[in-house]
Structure 1
Amino acid sequence: MQLPITISGIASVSALGTSQDEVWQRYILGQPLFSKEIFNGKESWISAITAEGDTSLSKLRDSNVHYNRLDRTVLLAMLATKKMASMVSLTGKRAGINIGSSRGATQLFEAYHQQFLTDGSVSAYTSPTTTLGNISSWVGQELGTDGIAIDHSVTCSTAMHALLNGIAWLGANMADAFLVGGSEAALTPFTMAQIQGMKLYSTTENVMACESMRLQKTKNTMVLGEGAAVALLERGISEKTQAVIQGYGFATETLEHSSSISANGVCFQKSMKMALDNAKLESVDVIVLHAPGTVKGDMAEYNAIAKVFSQKLPLLTSNKWLVGHTFAASGMLSIEMAILMLQHNKLIENPFFSNQRDLPKTLKTIMINAVGFGGNAVSIILSKP
């Protein structure tokens, strides 16, 4: 009998904090972690990492002369990984790494490009420090691993696709452990201009700026955040196991628009059904939605859930109303939220959505959804060890 794929450790760096205790306390507190910053002459809501996270990032950057040349995206991934590695050892294991990013080395790329526009010169470090492969390779350098190191971008479902890759590598016995996740540091003028240019960004003055899962809204309310989140996957259950991957599903759909999915979220319907079939389940206790706070995105995912689960909806929630959309890292932050809810046997409610059923006595299974541009949906079902 094949051993189950499990999550042995998980860690993140975001506006929620830098430790699982801190992250959980911020979920319990339930106050949006947004601040205002000026981009391109306009004040906008954002979700930035905590002051403690910034201090830790500075210490990491100063710890090695080579790290001064790395993008913030890479350093965030390294910082999250160091925190995870302090809890789970990789010694003696064939370890692979797959940490992706939607935008990659955004800050460095914009700075280098501006230098090129200004004086026509290009630093010798421009190309090697702005390639997407920087993230996993530098994490591997920091950990001292010598296994496969993969980077990719599937936009907002990047971390969840990394998790799928880890499942495949472990299932094929090509690794003993696989570090998966996503990192994003896209709080930059050009990236902000792109999202605002798509008319997706929140324009409210209210600190409840991201109305994720408020199905009645008529305006888009996305808020951009930064962060990194990583998980260590292994075969079998041990004393370190935090959650069992009970099921997984993935799907794409025919594009109707380059930045949105179909009205009934066909890709989500397919990925959720696959995950349920894979787990041999008819339903789950909770679903953590992708729900980016956009009018069409939130509604399409809800419609997909209604199609799959009919009148017996699981409890529904999300975290972007609290921490914003961290692009590549968002799916793994949702995985972390699900693990914490399983551990504490508590649902973190979304203030914009009212569930129509009561919490079961024991939370046993949670589905997590994510989707990227192009309709690349992933659904993961976690259960208690």
Structure 2
Amino acid sequence: MREPIAITSIASISALGKTQSDIWMQYQNDSHAIKLKKFDTSSAFVSEISEKDKEEIDALIKSDSKYKNLDASVLFAIYTSRKAIEKAGWDASDNFGINIGSSRGATSLFEKYHQSFLKYDFAETLTSPTTTLGNISSWVAHDLQTKGPEISHSITCSTALHSLLNGVAWMQSGMADKFLVGGSEAALTGFTIAQMRAMKIYASNEAEYPCRAFDLEKKENTMVIGEGASMACLEKGISENALAYIAGIGYATEILEHNISISTEADCFQRSMTMALGDTDPDEIDAIVMHAPGTIKGDISEFKAISTIFCNKTPFLTTNKWKLGHTFGASGMLSLELALFMLVHQQPVSVPFAMDQDQPKKLHKILVNAVGFGGNAVSVLLTR
């Protein structure tokens, strides 16, 4: 890193809650936020925002008449962006950049408009502008009244951490001093569930933990979809308000043998972690927040990649997908939020059914991983 990049705030909304105190409290127990949800013709395990917290989104819709036509993914992004910049002490005059992504985009709204098209044979007026990835960053910029650069993208499940990479790149180039980055996902629809089931990766059995993320002995795939959003405020230089600093970033894409596959040794993760580490001795890493989607191959291949890079001493390993499901494009930032919690509170968060590990005596440097369909891995090194 050419110069320090501080994370001065983070905000999220998910099945774990909407305030940092409530979310951290949820991480103190071994319970999960996954439940069985009924769809039109089926039911599936999901992780969704509570009805009480959705009241906050309803209030947001009422704050601007234009918001009633937006997808939930955009509304989640606006809500968490407001919270993030409030905690960071930013205002519109800062002209900060915005880079927010989503893997699925305006899922529910797109499906609604498509059903209308099939029925009436014409598209409703607002179909295109509201479903082009939801125009997610443009709407956040509108809400926050900032005039900085705004970027939206979709890079499957590593989307949120790719947003962070891009924000860092803009800041390191000297083109911006502050960037709001993150991801948002609201894809709990029957059609989305059917897509995951078609790939035979979705959780199917009722158990104490429907999603067995980082269970290296599981005999079946156990991925569960969740919804939520998380945004972080990045600032160039040293900040007295810093929760942590970004000490390294890494990325890699591997050539795939199959549309959704990852190599057995997760070559993309090996390269992204190596790049993020830079000159840092791997033995200095205290913990890794894994991507660990709950699939057999996904979990094991990432673990193999970690074992290869950290051959002398494997850091403490954890993930949060057993607790809140896989939030697709938002998942990387929710993983980064977990890493920040562990750094700030100096307390590791374990996966209750994972392999036995020694608890770290300190937490100074934590690596966060994300990867998505397409073999696009991202690793971010955080330090206190």
Q: TM-score range by the shorter chain?
A: over 0.9
Structure 2 CA distance for aligned equivalents of residues 311 and 280 of structure 1? 11
Structure 1 CA distance for aligned equivalents of residues 15 and 275 of structure 2? 33
Structure 2 unmatched ranges of 5 or more:
none
State the partner residue of 1:116.
117
Superposed, 1:38-57 pairs within 5 Å as 38-57=38-57
Superposed, 1:140-159 pairs within 5 Å as 140-159=141-160
Asked if structure 2 preserves the Cα contact closer than 8 Å seen for 1:246 and 1:279, the reply is no
TM-score (norm 2): 0.97
State the partner residue of 1:245.
246
Matched, 1:261 2:262: yes
State the 1:197 CA deviation: 0.9
Percentage of identical aligned residues = 50
Asked if structure 2 preserves the Cα contact closer than 8 Å seen for 1:315 and 1:355, the reply is no
Aligned to 2:230, the other structure's residue is in SS state strand
Structure 2 CA distance for aligned equivalents of residues 351 and 263 of structure 1? 25
State the partner residue of 2:311.
310
Greater than 4 Å deviation, 4+ residue runs: 278-282
Structure 2 CA distance for aligned equivalents of residues 23 and 61 of structure 1? 24
Root mean square deviation, CA, Å = 1.4
Aligned to 2:183, the other structure's residue is in SS state strand
State the 1:106 CA deviation: 0.3
Asked if structure 1 preserves the Cα contact closer than 8 Å seen for 2:283 and 2:312, the reply is no
Structure 2 CA distance for aligned equivalents of residues 278 and 112 of structure 1? 51
Asked if structure 1 preserves the Cα contact closer than 8 Å seen for 2:282 and 2:309, the reply is no
Superposed, 1:204-215 pairs within 5 Å as 204-215=205-216
For 1:128, the aligned partner's letter is P
Aligned to 1:28, the other structure's residue is in SS state coil
For 1:62, the aligned partner's letter is K
Q: Deviations over 1:277-325 (max 9, x none)?
A: 1546554000000000001000000010011111410000000000000
Aligned to 1:213, the other structure's residue is in SS state coil
Structure 1 CA distance for aligned equivalents of residues 52 and 43 of structure 2? 24
Asked if structure 1 preserves the Cα contact closer than 8 Å seen for 2:282 and 2:310, the reply is no
Q: Which moves more between the two structures, 272-281 or 193-202? A: 272-281
Aligned to 1:29, the other structure's residue is in SS state coil
State the partner residue of 1:346.
347
Structure 1 CA distance for aligned equivalents of residues 270 and 22 of structure 2? 34
For 1:111, the aligned partner's letter is K
Structure 1 CA distance for aligned equivalents of residues 282 and 268 of structure 2? 19
Asked if structure 1 preserves the Cα contact closer than 8 Å seen for 2:97 and 2:149, the reply is yes
Query: For this pair of structures, how many residues does the alignment match?
Result: 383
State the 1:204 CA deviation: 1.1
Superposed, 1:165-244 pairs within 5 Å as 165-244=166-245
Structure 2 CA distance for aligned equivalents of residues 89 and 213 of structure 1? 37
State the partner residue of 1:105.
106
Structure 2 CA distance for aligned equivalents of residues 150 and 123 of structure 1? 26
Structure 1 CA distance for aligned equivalents of residues 134 and 344 of structure 2? 34
Aligned to 1:129, the other structure's residue is in SS state helix
Aligned to 1:87, the other structure's residue is in SS state helix
Matched, 1:8 2:11: no
Matched, 1:125 2:97: no
Q: Deviations over 1:143-180 (max 9, x none)?
A: 11011110001100000000000100000111121000
State the 1:52 CA deviation: 2.9
Q: Which moves more between the two structures, 108-117 or 34-43? A: 34-43
Structure 2 CA distance for aligned equivalents of residues 176 and 277 of structure 1? 23
Structure 2 CA distance for aligned equivalents of residues 184 and 45 of structure 1? 16
TM-score (norm 1): 0.97
Q: Deviations over 1:105-142 (max 9, x none)?
A: 00000000001111212110000100126110010011
Structure 1 CA distance for aligned equivalents of residues 12 and 357 of structure 2? 31
State the 1:337 CA deviation: 0.4
State the 1:84 CA deviation: 1.1
For 1:194, the aligned partner's letter is Q
Matched, 1:33 2:12: no
State the 1:245 CA deviation: 0.3
